[in-house]
Amino acid sequence: MTEAEEQILELFKKKAAVVSAKVVEVKDLEEAMSYALDVCEKKDFCELVYVGEGEKGGRYGQATQKMFAAPGLSDRQFGGLEKAGREKGFTVIREGMRGYVSGIDVGFSIADLGIADTGCCVLVSGGEDARLAGMVCEIHVVALAKSKIVNSLDDAENFMNGIMDKGAMFISFISGPSRTADIERVLTIGVHGPLELHVALMES
């Protein structure tokens, strides 16, 4: 890693911490996935799932089964993850997220880009499952290759233009967990989206 790359990496870590993202360093995607599974194991059961049937008949209650979603993985990647998750007793899915809108434990995504001076991850996700997994989860774990971190917003422009020029696509900048300060300006983490955002920085 060159000195410039080192600086960009440090800047990313610093800015991501400012927005309350938890940054960890891992070797590769496999390690990132096993980190995410650990996170899922250590957390409490999802507190916000819809129990019962139908919109009127049900109620909210605590889950009794851990849910882990990882859309956007290849068959091979998902196969390994699914097996490891099942061994821990989780239900691991990669599609049909609309069935779990009331909440899941962990959503796992792979970022397409990181922007150091804002500490944000860029996720390109045309598919709704990929977006929903990152929104309805309590903890969102994003794997980001160190090589994909650019210095500034300006440096992300070419990448984005390349996608936006091509056709329909949804690009998300994600900086930290969801938050609000709408009641008495008190910062409160976790409103409609994740309560925590973890970024697993991958060596390769």
- Binding of another protein at residue 61 (CB under 8 A)? no
Q: State how far the Cα of 99 lies from the Cα of 5, in Å rounded to an integer.
A: 42
Q: Pick from 5, 6, 10, 60: which binds another protein (CB under 8 A)?
A: 60
Query: DSSP labels for 31-89?
Result: HHHHHHHHHHHHSPPPS-EEESSSTTT-EEE--SS-EEE-TT--HHHHHHHHHHHHHTT
State the DSSP H helix or E strand holding residue 143, giving kind and residue range, or none if neither.
strand 137-145
Q: Give the one residue of 85, 107, 114, 177 binding another protein; rule: CB under 8 A.
A: 177
Contacts of 87 (CB under 8 A, 6+ apart): none
Q: Which is nearer to another protein, 66 or 140 (CB)?
A: 140
107/15 Cα distance (integer angstroms): 22
Q: How far is the CB of 42 from another protein (least distance, A)?
A: 21
Our CB check for another protein shows the closer of 35 and 100 to be 100
Closer by beta carbon to another protein, 70 or else 118: 118
Residue 175 is a binding residue for another protein (CB under 8 A): yes
Give first-to-last CA distance, the chain, whole Å.
Answer: 12
Region binding another protein by CB under 8 A among candidate stretches 29-37, 74-82, 106-114, 123-131: 123-131
Strand partners, 93: 69
Question: What span, in angstroms and rounded, lies between the C-alpha atoms of 39 and 96?
Answer: 22
Cα–Cα distance measured from residue 7 to residue 10, given in angstroms and rounded to the nearest whole number: 5
Q: How far apart, in whole angstroms, are the C-alpha atoms of residue 204 and residue 143?
A: 11
| Interface with another protein (CB under 8 A), residue from 48, 84, 146, 151 | 48
Nearest approach, Cβ of 68 to another protein (angstroms)? 19
Identify which of residues 42 and 185 has a Cβ nearer to another protein in the complex: 185
Which region among 30-38, 69-77, 86-94, 126-134 touches another protein (by CB under 8 A)? 126-134
**Residues in touch with another protein (CB under 8 A):** 15, 18-19, 48, 50, 55, 60, 98, 101-103, 117-120, 126-128, 131-132, 135, 153-154, 156-157, 160-161, 163-165, 167-186, 188, 190-194
